[in-house]
């Protein structure tokens, strides 16, 4: 009996020691979360209730920053541009990435093409923006040259026409992000057991039926993940709009939420209002993410 008690006490001590060492090893990560995530989040919430230009004394104004922004035309323009951009980018990039992943999954050189498609993801946004500025040039740009030479069509003023600015940014963004989504879809496709496909073939299902009733349902968790990441990234778009346009484009047609937030903070120096916009953007992304988690029960199928 005493030996059992001693063994139990040794096990308990070892477990306490493991717990202590566990806390010791996660301490740097915990400090990082507190210093770079939780503290900034709390600070932004507090700052959104203040009126402050960075130099003078901060003044408590309550929720007036929120009411000012929600009632302002500039905020509504930035929100509508961001929603418009999201509607264009998210479905298109997800569908094209899925199609590309399905095609690459059948190739022998899939790893080579995976690297090729992933290259834009790791490319500097500034470098990519310079290239796309040349592509979109209305006089000697690549797209307008092809449209004129091949189809006899005069191309639009891509970054000078308010109607075409946001679609231009969306096209560049789809090109930049597709590689990441393709890699995710390829991983999901390779994780589907071949036995399900073989069973569907034996039952007489054609290629489309196998995709629609077998592959797509089994790929739904991956698709759900890609949708969440794509929506979060689309609401945080800034680099493309900032690089391709000057001062938000003609008639502020390229001013997104983050672009507008940046102007408030670092151009107008109204930190309270910029913090309020940041909190509103966080609330929108959080609400959309929670909504997707609620809706995913209807179409996401786990094994």
Asked if the structure places residue 73 within a domain, the reply is yes
Asked if the structure places residue 54 within a domain, the reply is no
Looking at the fold, whether 197 and 99 belong to one and the same domain comes out as yes
CATH number, domain of 175, equals 1.10.3720.10
Among the residue ranges 28-37, 62-71, 73-82, 130-139, the one predicted with the least confidence is 28-37
Looking at the fold, whether 115 and 241 belong to one and the same domain comes out as yes
Asked if the structure places residue 53 within a domain, the reply is no
pLDDT for the residue numbered 279:
95
On the question of pLDDT at 302 being above 80, the answer is no
Tell me the residue range of the domain where 177 lies: 66-299
Taking 3-state DSSP, the helix, strand and coil percentages for the chain, each rounded to the nearest 5, stand at: 75, 0, 20
On the question of pLDDT at 43 being above 70, the answer is yes
Looking at the fold, whether 100 and 248 belong to one and the same domain comes out as yes
On the question of pLDDT at 235 being above 90, the answer is yes
pLDDT for the residue numbered 264:
93
Looking at the fold, whether 8 and 133 belong to one and the same domain comes out as no
Looking at the fold, whether 30 and 80 belong to one and the same domain comes out as no
Q: Provide the number of structural domains found in the chain.
A: 2
pLDDT for the residue numbered 109:
78
Looking at the fold, whether 88 and 214 belong to one and the same domain comes out as yes
Looking at the fold, whether 128 and 188 belong to one and the same domain comes out as yes
Q: Which long-range contacts (CB under 8 A, 24 or more apart) does 299-303 make?
A: 299/220, 300/220, 300/221, 300/223, 300/224, 301/217, 301/218, 301/220, 301/221, 302/221, 303/218
Q: pTM for this one?
A: 0.87
Looking at the fold, whether 25 and 135 belong to one and the same domain comes out as no
Mean pLDDT of 157-171: 92
Between the CA of residue 203 and those of 215, 286, 303, what are the distances in Å? 15, 43, 20
Give the Cα separation of 261 and 237 in Å (integer).
12
Looking at the fold, whether 169 and 41 belong to one and the same domain comes out as no
Looking at the fold, whether 92 and 180 belong to one and the same domain comes out as yes
Mean pLDDT of 268-293: 93
On the question of pLDDT at 280 being above 90, the answer is yes
Give the Cα separation of 97 and 87 in Å (integer).
16
């Amino acid at each position: 009996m005493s030996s059992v008690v001693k063994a139990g006490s040794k096990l308990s001590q070892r477990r306490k020691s493991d717990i202590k060492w566990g806390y010791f090893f996660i301490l740097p990560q915990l400090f990082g979360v507190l210093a770079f995530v939780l503290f900034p989040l709390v600070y932004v919430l507090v700052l959104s209730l203040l009126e402050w230009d960075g130099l003078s004394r901060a003044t408590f104004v309550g929720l007036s920053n929120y009411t000012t922004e929600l009632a302002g035309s500039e905020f509504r323009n930035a929100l509508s541009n961001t929603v418009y951009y999201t509607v264009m980018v998210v479905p298109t990039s997800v569908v094209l990435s899925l199609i590309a992943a399905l095609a690459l999954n059948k190739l022998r050189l899939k790893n080579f093409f995976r690297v090729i498609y992933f290259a834009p993801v790791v490319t500097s946004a500034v470098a990519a923006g310079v290239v796309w500025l040349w592509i979109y040039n209305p006089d000697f740009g690549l797209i307008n040259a092809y449209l004129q030479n091949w189809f006899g069509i005069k191309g639009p003023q891509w970054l000078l026409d308010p109607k075409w600015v946001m679609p231009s940014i969306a096209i560049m963004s789809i090109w930049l992000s597709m590689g990441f989504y393709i890699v995710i879809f390829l991983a999901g496709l390779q994780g589907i057991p071949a036995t399900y496909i073989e069973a569907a073939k034996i039952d007489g299902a054609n290629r489309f039926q196998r995709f629609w009733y077998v592959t797509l349902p089994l790929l739904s968790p991956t698709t759900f993940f890609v949708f969440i990441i794509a929506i979060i990234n689309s609401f945080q778009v800034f680099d493309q709009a900032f690089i391709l346009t000057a001062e938000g484009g003609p008639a502020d047609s390229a001013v997104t939420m983050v672009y507008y937030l940046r102007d408030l903070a670092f151009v107008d120096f109204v930190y309270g209002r910029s913090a309020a916009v940041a909190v509103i953007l966080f609330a929108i992304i959080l609400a959309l993410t929670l909504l997707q988690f609620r809706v995913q029960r209807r179409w996401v199928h786990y094994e």
